[in-house]
């Protein structure tokens, strides 16, 4: 699959290996193609639509046995659910779109196993989303909830307190979505992810900092308070 993105007068390939790999496993394809042919999410950009349906095919089709295998097989301590092509998806379509898609699946998927896995991924990979772990107890068995949720939530809250402190100290931790050298556009994208957080205190801290950044002071995730 080859993707092209227009930058100025030029078309650049987006799918050059190994920079971007869009993972489409064979057992996801029937659900993905069915959703595509039915017109689901047809009102958005075609590439965003493909990424959205690819994520939903994985999480909405996740079975109890697949979830259990992801967390418990071969190890005594529960693991995390891994979305292996997450870095590629974030670079392909932008981290905000991926984060908000995972947030929506975490909150609203009819498949409780998929909700559990999506909440784990978004809570772990995107800052300010410890609330996702509080959704987990309604999305999985007591076995998984007792052995995993408490540990994950405690770790997330500790990391979030430190990240809020760093944000308010102007020690901006922006590495993670694009690497160490960020363009203003990338910094803006990162701040939009932060400002879309589920957790109120983190969201407020992100908006405080965004208001001081020329490239992020007008991001739509933050309310406008006075002239910018």
In a domain, 73, yes or no: yes
> pLDDT tens digit string along 88-109?
888 888 899 999 999 999 999 9
pLDDT of residue 106: 95
Task: Count structural domains, the chain.
Answer: 1
Average pLDDT of every residue of the chain: 83
Print the domain residue range for 81.
25-173
pLDDT of residue 85: 85
Reference 145, options 125, 116, 118; nearest CA is 116
The answer to whether 144 touches 153, Cβ cutoff 8 Å, is no
Cα 39 from Cα 152, distance rounded (Å): 37
The alpha carbon of 125 is separated from its chain's Cα centroid by a whole number of angstroms, namely: 6
H or E element at residue 100: helix 95-108
In a domain, 209, yes or no: no
| pTM reported for the whole predicted model | 0.85
SS3 at position 12: strand
> pLDDT tens digit string along 166-195?
888 877 665 566 665 678 888 898 899 999
In a domain, 213, yes or no: no
Q: What are the tokens at 14?
A: 């987006």
DSSP E strands in the chain: the ranges are 4-7, 10-13
């Amino acid at each position: 699959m080859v993707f092209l993105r227009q930058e100025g007068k030029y078309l650049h390939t987006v799918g050059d290996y190994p920079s971007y790999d869009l993972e489409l496993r064979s057992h996801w394809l029937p659900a993905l193609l069915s959703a595509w042919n039915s017109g689901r999410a047809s009102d958005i950009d075609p590439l965003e639509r493909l990424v959205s349906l690819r994520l939903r095919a994985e999480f909405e089709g996740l079975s109890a046995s697949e979830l259990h295998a992801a967390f418990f097989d071969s190890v005594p301590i529960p693991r995390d659910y891994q979305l292996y092509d997450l870095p590629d998806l974030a670079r392909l379509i932008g981290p905000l779109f991926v984060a908000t898609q995972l947030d929506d699946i975490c909150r609203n998927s009819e498949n409780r196993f998929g909700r559990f896995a999506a909440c784990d991924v978004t809570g772990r990979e995107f800052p300010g989303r410890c609330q996702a772990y509080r959704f987990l107890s309604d999305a999985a068995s007591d076995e998984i909830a007792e052995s995993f949720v408490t540990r994950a939530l405690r770790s997330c809250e500790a990391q979030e307190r430190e990240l809020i402190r760093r944000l308010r100290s102007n020690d901006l931790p922006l590495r993670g979505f694009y690497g160490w050298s960020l363009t203003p556009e990338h910094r803006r994208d990162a701040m939009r992810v932060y400002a879309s957080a589920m957790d109120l205190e983190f969201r407020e801290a992100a908006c405080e900092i965004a208001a001081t950044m020329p490239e992020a002071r007008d991001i739509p995730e933050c309310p406008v308070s006075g002239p910018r």
